[in-house]
Structure 1
Amino acid sequence: MDNTAKTIVCFGDSNTHGYNSATMGRFTEKERWPCLLADLLGPAYLVREEGLSGRTTSFEDPLFEGLSGFAAIHPCLMTHEPVDLLIIMLGTNDVKQRFAATPANIAKGMERLVTKAIHTTEAWRGKANILVIAPPPIEEGYKGTQIQGEMGIDCVEKSQAIIPLFREVAERLGCHFLEAASIPGMGMYPYDYMHLSLDSHRLLAERLAELIPGIC
């Protein structure tokens, strides 16, 4: 292992874990965006996958344990220290109807998460360096798919509304920001309309590979 390599932690949900809604399985290491990013960046970087299906910014899920990003971020960062860049792509699960959260509530969850990461000072190689990615919004086609009952109502609108709020949080807390939906060609698989397509994993990795050398 090259101890001079910069460590990047990719902290997210199923779209970081690599859920493949076409097969209800997982994309391979040759397909998931963190793995592709590692290949594109080369040996100067160590890219660590920390994706968990169902993870939220800060909400405790009443149906499944261990899904709060806020609760997990400290041990995650300490596991991979010293960390040079933390990439956070969360928010999609926060729009589930059972959380009854407004877009402003979800943005506050992201703010709590980022603030805790910043203050995990012993994990950083230098000062905190965080990239917040607003995930692509859920698409209308989700209605009638297998995830309609899981997500409930209003998830499309909320997933769209959190994008500018996440931008504001990132800018106010001194973080970098990327709107994933702004990447040309980005989209969801037409099996549930909330999980990244195979091409979108590649597109996200390529965009990050362009961006990261300028910030880390």
Structure 2
Amino acid sequence: MKQILVYADSLSWGIIPDTRHRFDFSQRWPGKLEQRLNDEHQPVRVIEDCLNGRRTVLEDPFKPGRNGAAGIQQTIEINTPLALVIIMLGNNDFQSPHTFTAAEAAQGVATLVQNIRQAPIEPGMPIADILILAPPPIIQPKGSIAAKFNGAEHKWVGFNDALQQVAATHNCDFFDTGSVISASLKDGIHLDLEQHQQLALSLQSVVEVILNR
């Protein structure tokens, strides 16, 4: 059985838009992806490491532990052997306390890629492939998160292209989720149930290719 680590934020944690509730494992895209792969006789275990508010390399000024670069090498060690690490991060870099551009947030993801590959795993353990996912574009933030994401839809512009360039430069696989899903109209950031399900469906073939090559 191959192991896949999803290193991400609230979009993948499965927060139900404009609430503080969570979709079930079978409903959110990592769980649905695991189910679909296993149903197709591709035995996998999908490990979720998805933290609400996680940035790429920035600190949350109000909550500790949201810097994605802090502890990522230990996360890799803990879960090794890994066949694949999927990263979908960056949206929280555009929260109002930060001034990151799309290019800078993408460089934050590049730092995570480098940290993953330099993790001090046990000798002989495989170095995981890395799949970078561009989250769907932020649309006008609404509801309870509107204030902290004020203006994020403008900062986000070009983030997918910048991530694609990072993936090419660092020899990672890349998938633009905005080509198959969109952010929820309820809050402009997170994913509705149907978006989780569609993302799992769209990623299935992408992940199968990576695992089987």
Q: Is TM more than 0.5 here? A: yes
Which residue is equivalent to 2:3? 7
- Of 155, 158, 161, the residue aligned with 2:155 is 158
Give the letter aligned to residue 147 of structure 1: I
Give the letter aligned to residue 44 of structure 2: Y
CA distance in 1 between counterparts of 2:65 and 2:4 reads: 22
Q: Displacement, 1:114?
A: 0.9
1:16 matches 2:15: no
Give the structure-1-normalised TM-score: 0.91
Which residue is equivalent to 1:79? 78
Give the letter aligned to residue 26 of structure 1: R
Which residue is equivalent to 2:26? 30
Q: Displacement, 1:121?
A: 5.1
Check conservation: 2:15, 2:21, Cα contact below 8 A. yes
Which residue is equivalent to 2:145? 147
Q: Displacement, 1:16?
A: 1.0
Check conservation: 2:130, 2:172, Cα contact below 8 A. yes
Give the structure-2-normalised TM-score: 0.92
Match of 2:131, SS state, is strand
Which residue is equivalent to 2:102? 103
Q: Displacement, 1:81?
A: 0.6
1:172 matches 2:166: no
Q: Displacement, 1:202?
A: 0.5
Give the letter aligned to residue 133 of structure 2: I
Which residue is equivalent to 1:138? 138
CA distance in 2 between counterparts of 1:139 and 1:213 reads: 31
1:192 matches 2:202: no
What fraction of aligned residue pairs are identical, expressed as a percent?
Answer: 31
Check conservation: 1:35, 1:47, Cα contact below 8 A. yes
Q: How many residues align?
A: 207
CA distances 1:84-108 after superposition (whole Å, capped 9, x unpaired): 1000000110111211112222122
Q: Displacement, 1:23?
A: 4.0
CA distance in 2 between counterparts of 1:55 and 1:211 reads: 25
Q: Give 1 or 2: higher helix fraction.
A: 1
Distance 1:125 1:209, change over 3 A: farther
Check conservation: 2:69, 2:115, Cα contact below 8 A. yes
CA distance in 1 between counterparts of 2:154 and 2:125 reads: 38
Check conservation: 2:18, 2:143, Cα contact below 8 A. no
Once superposed, what is the RMSD of the aligned Cα atoms? 1.6
- Of 18, 33, 36, the residue aligned with 1:40 is 36
Q: Displacement, 1:128?
A: 3.4
CA distances 1:137-169 after superposition (whole Å, capped 9, x unpaired): 1112x2x5221211122x102223211011000
